A and B are shown apart, each in its own frame.
Chain A
């Protein structure tokens, strides 16, 4: 056990901190601290330009192997990158689905040709991705997808028809990865394929869905014989579930670290606010802030522990994926804490029409945390059955 960063890592810290201090200025000053959770719809163009700035400095996809354009950065360096990025107020990353989901999935399961075609655009901050999993009848029961993929011999293309829903940032994306049924007679997780689609084509229609925040980060996406090439399926027809689940594994890996740094910024905002308006003198508020702080430390230490391999010391298997349940519950409580610190001000919109302050957006947006990416109830089922081996529930 050695819980500190090495001198080389501290050198790396200085490198990224200096780079950010030099580059996150001028035209980018306006997007500092913007575009985080609850604020994703803001400044998309400026944030895309920022992705290219980052890429030019070699600061996108730093955890990818060098062979694929990354830096092969160690876990420690990735942690440091996220710390410094959040400290500097780096804007919410438009490229994160590509960098943390599409990229690792293609590196693990894709063909050489797919890697050559798709990785450079992600790395350069020029091509953006969205995730086409959920459908009207496939939420928690994701394996119930109905979207169909048919291989058209004449054009040698896959034709995709059906509907996805809740697709975050589809309206800002160049590509979508889609799970669709390749075997029309199949049910459940068999007979699925994992496809890489261009969003810019006549067969795809994107319709924003207005959220309770009054803004639109997610969308309905309709596919009417949308097409992709014969080579745009990852793995073989029938492998879709395996690839889709592999991708969810990356979702809970290193990408969680960046999120914790944003959480830290939010907690700091709350502490500042409590000092400003006197809530810091209320012993109940003080205790809840202490709780929030401890919860964040717990997540931080656990990520570091998981990422350092946590050998045979009796832990739950990482497959149990307990992180989602923990952070979503913590973050939802943080939103409530923010409102309670604000007191009567909490209710009053920042400006008409329905403009919310940062903490108000945090409160409303964090209501979604316990739903997306697997609801808390579904997570508990998985933990009980897979990690604790409790008797299985009959499934219909």
Chain B
């Protein structure tokens, strides 16, 4: 039993962190909200090997697992990365690996090389929204219980503006009628796996987002003075921050646990992802609530950066299965007649 990351995993995280915190400043996030052009950013991420991080080595990637990537996803959250790196590395590339065959052989090297992007559209929410569908050259879309490999040129994509200006979401039309059988490339297990990996990605980013909001609020309340003292010296403010710190710190282990379960195909991986997503998104939601309060009116402005992170946290809470979905997955399992009860069933 060992919950530690390896030295290599931590070093890799550190170098990605240096890059992301140095490059993806709040100013750059704001600029990308406005322009929507992230081509140079995608180029940088490709150069660092991040885009192909989970692509197997024989297809030109780094062949890393969910456990290797989870710390990076956290860092993506910390900077509110306005590019679909988590989607690509954690959902799209592994889905192609699951599908295998020629589709994998032709698309995975192009993902790793930054020449092509692949978007995956599945999940319990209706209408189904596909991230960055307009930039993808291949869309893996769930239709009638199967994943279909579709060429975006044959589809009608409609943009839905997100409150988080860095999320580019599309409804996809035109796939239903024509959905020719030949396009079906994978069924239920691959769909379930994509949902779980998407959920893990949200959870890990939520950890980073919560940390960022907490850091901003702790720094702000040390500076801002009222009644002749920093407002951060008041207990009511401190207790708001402490509550966030505890929820956040305690949400880490379940997220890391879920990453391990996915990497090892653990039979309860789906439930572990639900634990992770609920815990991390709850921490981020509390961070959003308490950190805006600690900022006073400043927190309510467009000018102060806090909202960039709050909005992503709110959006991710609903993506890849919302709270109700994940709680239901858990309670259904708990109330099954043969659900293992007892103290031995807790790991």
Contact = CB atoms under 8 A, between A and B. Distances in A.
Contacts of B13: 313
A297 B10 contact: no
B343 A265 contact: yes
Identify whether the interface residues of B are mostly helix, strand, loop, or mixed: helix
Contact of B238 (A86, A309, A381): A381
Given A86-B343, A280-B335, A388-B241, A309 B252 contact: no
Interface stretch (B39-47, B185-193, B326-334): B326-334
Interface of A: 1-5, 9, 75-76, 79, 82-84, 86-87, 260-262, 264-265, 268, 271-272, 274-275, 280, 286-287, 289-291, 293-294, 296-302, 304-305, 308-313, 315-316, 320, 322, 325-326, 377, 379-381, 383-385, 387-394
B10 A312 contact: yes
B334 A290 contact: yes
A300 B253 CA distance: 9
Contacts of B330: 290, 293-294
B4 A311 contact: yes
B233 A380 contact: no
Contacts of A274: 335
A390 B221 contact: yes
A290 B331 contact: yes
A377 B238 CA distance: 10
A379 B327 CA distance: 29
Contacts of A298: 250-251, 253-254, 275, 279
B250 A322 contact: yes
B279 A294 contact: yes
Interface in B313-343: 324, 327-328, 330-331, 334-335, 339, 341-343
Contacts of B243: 380
A271 B330 CA distance: 13
Contacts of A9: 1
Contact of B249 (A83, A304, A322): A322
Contacts of A84: 343-344
Interface in B191-233: 214, 218, 221-222, 229-230, 232-233
A304 B1 contact: yes
A92 B181 CA distance: 62
B105 interface: no
B71 interface: yes
5 contacts: A298-B279, A305-B253, A310-B4, A389-B218, A391-B232
Given A290-B334, A391-B233, A1 B245 contact: no
Given A3-B260, A312-B10, A394-B233, 8 more contacts: A3-B1, A82-B343, A265-B342, A290-B334, A297-B275, A301-B253, A304-B3, A326-B250
Contact of A83 (B246, B275, B279, B344): B344
B146 interface: no
Contact of A392 (B1, B233, B342): B233
Interface string B265-307: 0000000001100110000000000000000000000000000
Contacts of A4: 1
B346 A383 contact: no
B10 A311 contact: yes
A287 B2 CA distance: 31
Interface of B: 1-6, 10, 13, 67, 71, 214, 218, 221-222, 229-230, 232-235, 237-239, 241-243, 245-246, 249-254, 256-257, 260-261, 274-275, 278-279, 324, 327-328, 330-331, 334-335, 339, 341-347
A1 B256 contact: yes
Nearest to A300: B346
B8 to A, nearest CB: 12
A264 B342 contact: yes
Contacts of A313: 4-5, 10, 13, 71
A298 B251 CA distance: 7
Contacts of A390: 218, 221-222, 232-233, 237-238, 241
A393 B221 CA distance: 13
A303 B225 CA distance: 38
Contact of B230 (A5, A280, A316, A391): A391
Contacts of B233: 390-394
User: Which of B221, B229, B252, B346 lies at the interface centre, i.e. has the most chain A CB atoms within 10 A of its CB?
Assistant: B346
A225 B206 CA distance: 58
Contacts of B5: 1, 311, 313
A12 to B, nearest CB: 12
A387 B245 contact: yes
B233 to A, nearest CB: 4
Contacts of A265: 342-343
Nearest to A268: B341
Nearest to B225: A391
A383 B278 contact: no
Pairs A-B, 8 closest by C-beta atoms? A384-B238, A301-B253, A86-B343, A380-B242, A305-B3, A261-B343, A383-B242, A391-B233
B103 to A, nearest CB: 31
Contacts of B249: 302, 315-316, 320, 322
A297 to B, nearest CB: 5
Given A302-B250, A383-B245, A289 B344 contact: no
A19 B293 CA distance: 55
Contacts of B237: 390
B20 to A, nearest CB: 14
A392 B230 CA distance: 10
A6 to B, nearest CB: 8
Contacts of A1: 2-6, 67, 256, 260
A299 B347 CA distance: 11
Contacts of B275: 294, 297-298
Given A87-B342, A393-B235, A3 B3 contact: yes
Contacts of B242: 325, 379-381, 383-384, 387-388
A263 to B, nearest CB: 9
Contacts of A380: 235, 238-239, 242-243
A83 B343 contact: yes
User: Which of B6, B71, B328, B334 lies at the interface centre, i.e. has the most chain A CB atoms within 10 A of its CB?
Assistant: B334
A2 to B, nearest CB: 5
Nearest to A393: B233
A384 B334 contact: no
A87 B222 CA distance: 48
B207 to A, nearest CB: 10
Nearest to B229: A391
Contact of A2 (B2, B221, B246, B250): B2
Nearest to B330: A290
B245 A271 contact: no
Contacts of B347: 3, 300, 304
